[in-house]
Structure 1
Amino acid sequence: MKKGIRVYNLYPKLIGKMDNWINHFDRIQDMNFNWIYINPINASGFSGSDYAIKDYYLYNPMFIKGWPLKSEDYKEENLEKDRKKGNELLKKVCSEAEKRGIKVMYDIVINHTAIDSPLVKLKPEWYERDENGKVKNAGADDNGTWVVWGDLAQIDNANSPDKENLWKYWLDMLLHYCDLGIRGFRCDAAYHVPADLWNYLISNVKEKYSDVIFVAETLGCTPTQLMNVSKAGFDIVMNSIKWWNYKDEWFLKDYKEWAGKYFSMTFPENHDTERYYNEVNGNKDLAINKYAIQAYFCSSIATTIGFEFGFKRKIDVVQTNPEWWENANYDISKEISEINKIKSQYQILQEDNMIIPYDFHNEELFGFAKEALNKSEKIFVVANLSPYNWHNINIPNFYEIMNGDKIKDISHGHKMETVFNNLDYSLKPGEVKLFYIKY
Structure 2
Amino acid sequence: MGTTEKMIIYQVFTRLFGSKNIGCRPNGTLAENGCGKMDDFTEQALHKIKELGATHIWYTGLIAHATQTDYSAYGIPKDHPSVVKGKAGSPYAIKDYYDIDPDLAVHVDKRMEEFEALVKRTHICGMKVIMDFVPNHVARQYHSLARPEGVKDLGENDDSSLAFSPNNNFYYIPGEKLQGEVDLYDPESGVAYEEFPAKATGNNRFDAWPNRNDWYETVKLNYGVDYIHNTGCHFDPIPDTWQKMKDILLFWAGKGIDGFRCDMAEMVPCEFWGWAIPQVKKSYPDIVFIAEVYNPNEYRNYIQNGHFDYLYDKVGLYDTLRAITCGYASATAITSCWQSVNDIQSHMLNFLENHDEQRIASDFFAGNAFKALPALIVSACMNTNPMMIYFGQEFGEPGMDSEGFSGRDGRTTIFDYWTVNTIRRWSNHGRFNGHQLNAKEKELQKFYQKLLNLCNTEKAISQGEFFDLMYVNQGGWQMNEHKQYAFLRKYGKEVLLIVVNFDDIPVRVGVNIPPHAFEYLQMPVLPQCTAKELLSGKDSKVSFTPDKAFGTELPARNGKIFKISLGK
After TM superposition, the score normalised by the length of structure 2 is 0.66
Deviates further, 398-407 or 164-173: 398-407
Match of 2:350 in 1: 266
Match of 1:411 in 2: 534
- Residue 256 of structure 1 and its aligned partner are, at CA, apart by 2.0
Q: Following the alignment from structure 1 to structure 2, what is the Cα–Cα distance between the partners of residues 312 and 225?
A: 33
- Residue 362 of structure 1 and its aligned partner are, at CA, apart by 2.3
Question: How far does the alpha carbon of each residue in 1:179-214 deviate from its partner, in whole angstroms, 9 at most, with x for none?
Answer: 222111111111111112112221111111111111
Does the CA-based 8 Å contact 2:361-2:397 persist in structure 1? yes
**SS at the partner of 2:500?**
strand
Match of 2:222 in 1: 156
- Residue 310 of structure 1 and its aligned partner are, at CA, apart by 1.7
Pair 1:367-2:511 in alignment:
no
Q: How does 1:256-405 map to 2 (within 5 A)?
A: 256-261=339-344, 262-278=346-362, 279-284=365-370, 286-298=371-383, 299-313=385-399, 314-322=411-419, 326-327=424-425, 328=437, 330-331=441-442, 332-350=444-462, 355-357=468-470, 358-359=473-474, 362=480, 365-370=483-488, 379-387=496-504, 389-395=505-511, 401-402=517-518, 403-405=523-525
Q: Which of 301, 309, 316 matches 1:228?
A: 301
For residues 371 and 311 of structure 1, do their structure 2 counterparts lie closer, same or farther at Cα, with a shift above 3 Å needed?
A: closer
Q: Following the alignment from structure 2 to structure 1, what is the Cα–Cα distance between the partners of residues 199 and 467?
A: 45
**SS at the partner of 1:276?**
coil
Does the CA-based 8 Å contact 2:155-2:170 persist in structure 1? no
Amino acid at match of 2:134: V
Q: Following the alignment from structure 2 to structure 1, what is the Cα–Cα distance between the partners of residues 95 and 553?
A: 56
**SS at the partner of 1:174?**
helix
Q: How does 1:36-435 map to 2 (within 5 A)?
A: 36-45=57-66, 46=79, 47=84, 48-65=89-106, 82=109, 85-118=110-143, 121-124=155-158, 125-130=168-173, 134-139=198-203, 148-159=214-225, 163-218=238-293, 220-222=294-296, 224-231=297-304, 232-240=306-314, 241-244=317-320, 245-246=323-324, 247=330, 252-253=335-336, 255-261=338-344, 262-278=346-362, 279-284=365-370, 286-298=371-383, 299-313=385-399, 314-322=411-419, 326-327=424-425, 328=437, 330-331=441-442, 332-350=444-462, 355-357=468-470, 358-359=473-474, 362=480, 365-370=483-488, 379-387=496-504, 389-395=505-511, 401-402=517-518, 403-405=523-525, 408-421=531-544, 422=548, 423-435=550-562
**SS at the partner of 1:126?**
coil
Does the CA-based 8 Å contact 1:369-1:378 persist in structure 2? no
For residues 10 and 414 of structure 1, do their structure 2 counterparts lie closer, same or farther at Cα, with a shift above 3 Å needed?
A: same
The structure where helix makes up a greater share of residues is: 1
Does the CA-based 8 Å contact 1:259-1:353 persist in structure 2? no
Q: Following the alignment from structure 1 to structure 2, what is the Cα–Cα distance between the partners of residues 275 and 146?
A: 24
- Residue 173 of structure 1 and its aligned partner are, at CA, apart by 1.4
Deviates further, 363-372 or 341-350: 363-372
Match of 1:27 in 2: 48
For residues 392 and 14 of structure 1, do their structure 2 counterparts lie closer, same or farther at Cα, with a shift above 3 Å needed?
A: same
Question: How far does the alpha carbon of each residue in 1:281-336 deviate from its partner, in whole angstroms, 9 at most, with x for none?
Answer: 3353x343332221012421111111112212222221143476554461323222
Q: Following the alignment from structure 1 to structure 2, what is the Cα–Cα distance between the partners of residues 291 and 248?
A: 13
- Residue 400 of structure 1 and its aligned partner are, at CA, apart by 6.7
**SS at the partner of 1:171?**
helix
**SS at the partner of 1:9?**
strand
- Residue 120 of structure 1 and its aligned partner are, at CA, apart by 5.8
Q: Following the alignment from structure 1 to structure 2, what is the Cα–Cα distance between the partners of residues 334 and 282?
A: 16
Deviates further, 199-208 or 377-386: 377-386
Q: Following the alignment from structure 1 to structure 2, what is the Cα–Cα distance between the partners of residues 291 and 140?
A: 35
For residues 9 and 420 of structure 1, do their structure 2 counterparts lie closer, same or farther at Cα, with a shift above 3 Å needed?
A: same
Deviates further, 394-403 or 271-280: 394-403
Larger of the two Rg values belongs to structure: 2
Question: How far does the alpha carbon of each residue in 1:391-427 deviate from its partner, in whole angstroms, 9 at most, with x for none?
Answer: 0012356777555346744532354433324422111
Q: Following the alignment from structure 2 to structure 1, what is the Cα–Cα distance between the partners of residues 469 and 260?
A: 32
- Residue 258 of structure 1 and its aligned partner are, at CA, apart by 2.7
Amino acid at match of 1:226: Y
Amino acid at match of 1:382: V
- % identical aligned pairs: 20
Q: Following the alignment from structure 2 to structure 1, what is the Cα–Cα distance between the partners of residues 157 and 533?
A: 57
What RMSD in Å do the two structures reach over aligned CA positions?
3.2
**SS at the partner of 2:121?**
helix
After TM superposition, the score normalised by the length of structure 1 is 0.84
Amino acid at match of 1:233: H
For residues 208 and 405 of structure 1, do their structure 2 counterparts lie closer, same or farther at Cα, with a shift above 3 Å needed?
A: same
Does the CA-based 8 Å contact 1:9-1:38 persist in structure 2? yes
5+ residue gaps in structure 1?
A: 67-78
Amino acid at match of 1:171: K
- Residue 37 of structure 1 and its aligned partner are, at CA, apart by 0.5
5+ residue gaps in structure 2?
A: 18-35, 67-78, 144-152, 159-167, 176-196, 206-210, 226-233, 325-329, 400-410, 426-436
Does the CA-based 8 Å contact 2:58-2:131 persist in structure 1? yes
* Count, aligned residues: 415
- Residue 369 of structure 1 and its aligned partner are, at CA, apart by 2.2
- Residue 280 of structure 1 and its aligned partner are, at CA, apart by 3.0
**SS at the partner of 1:104?**
strand
**SS at the partner of 2:131?**
strand
